[in-house]
Every structure is written in C-alpha cells, then in structure tokens.
Amino acid sequence: AGQFTFGDTSWRVGERLPVGGARAALGGTLGLLSALMGVGGGAFGATLLTLFGRPIHQAVATAAGFGAFIAIPAALGYVLIGWGVPGRAPLSLGYVNLLGFALLSVCTAITAPMGARLAHRLDALLLRRLFAAFLAATALNLLREAFSR
C-alpha cells in the first residue's frame, strides 16, 4: 500500500521479470504467501509486477489472473490439511466449505468482468490509489485477525 501511495512510478527492482529458476522461486513464494494469507494473487502480484516496470493496468489485470493458479492448489491444501478435523461446518471438505465455495464462485464470475472493465477505464493514478486503499484495508484486516486471538 505504501509503495502505491508514496512510491514513485519509476521505482524498479529490475527492468524485466526474472527468468528460469529465479522466476519459479518468485512465483512460488508469491503463491505460497498468497495462499497462507488468503489474499489471492493480486495483493502481491500487482505490487511485484509494477516493481518490474509493468504499467498499473497491466499489473492489476495480470495479477487477477493469478487467482486460479493460486486458489486451486491452496484449496486442495486446505482440504487435505483439514480432512478428518472434528467440528467443521456442514458441507465441508477439510477446511473448505462447499456452500461458501459455490457462493464465492458465482459472485466472482458475475463481478470480475465488471471490475476489469472499471479498472481499464480508470486513470492510472486513481487506480494506483484505489489499489493502495485495497491493500491497506487487507493489511489492517490481517493485523486485526492476528491480534484478536
């Protein structure tokens, strides 16, 4: 959030995304952190892509596409880890509730195209600020959850 709010658009970690093993390690780390935090690919992916010189519109759109590649293995992991754990909600496979999965899938299928159209219509600076607000809200929610236990 700080990078999108206060950072200069010329800030770069590199001019191009890494290739080979470095790209695989970066992608694996991004996917693992996203799955563990339950934030999808956008939070880390868009930030990383902009730090490698991608325009904000391209970074947000590409990072949104990471979602399925992160969600599927993450969901399978949560099914396996939670398999046989007592006290789960009805209609659950491990820690994945099938009713919640169905509702989120339908809502995502309906709203994702609308969000993509909106994002491409926005000015780059406004999109950066809105994405920063999203990241800040996500971070605050994660902190709230961590300290409420």
Output the tens digit of pLDDT for each of the chain's 149 residues.
888 888 777 888 888 888 999 989 988 888 888 877 777 777 888 888 888 988 888 888 888 777 777 888 888 999 999 999 999 999 999 999 999 999 988 998 898 888 888 888 999 899 999 989 988 998 899 899 889 87
* Other Cβ atoms within 10 Å of 141 Cβ, number: 11
Q: Say which residues have a Cβ less than 8 Å from residue 120's Cβ, sequence separation at least 6.
A: 57, 61
Q: Are strands 92-93 and 96-97 parallel, antiparallel or unpaired?
A: antiparallel
> E-assigned strands of 10-113?
92-93, 96-97
Instruction: Give me the amino acid identity at 52.
Output: F
Tell me the three state secondary structure of residue 74.
helix
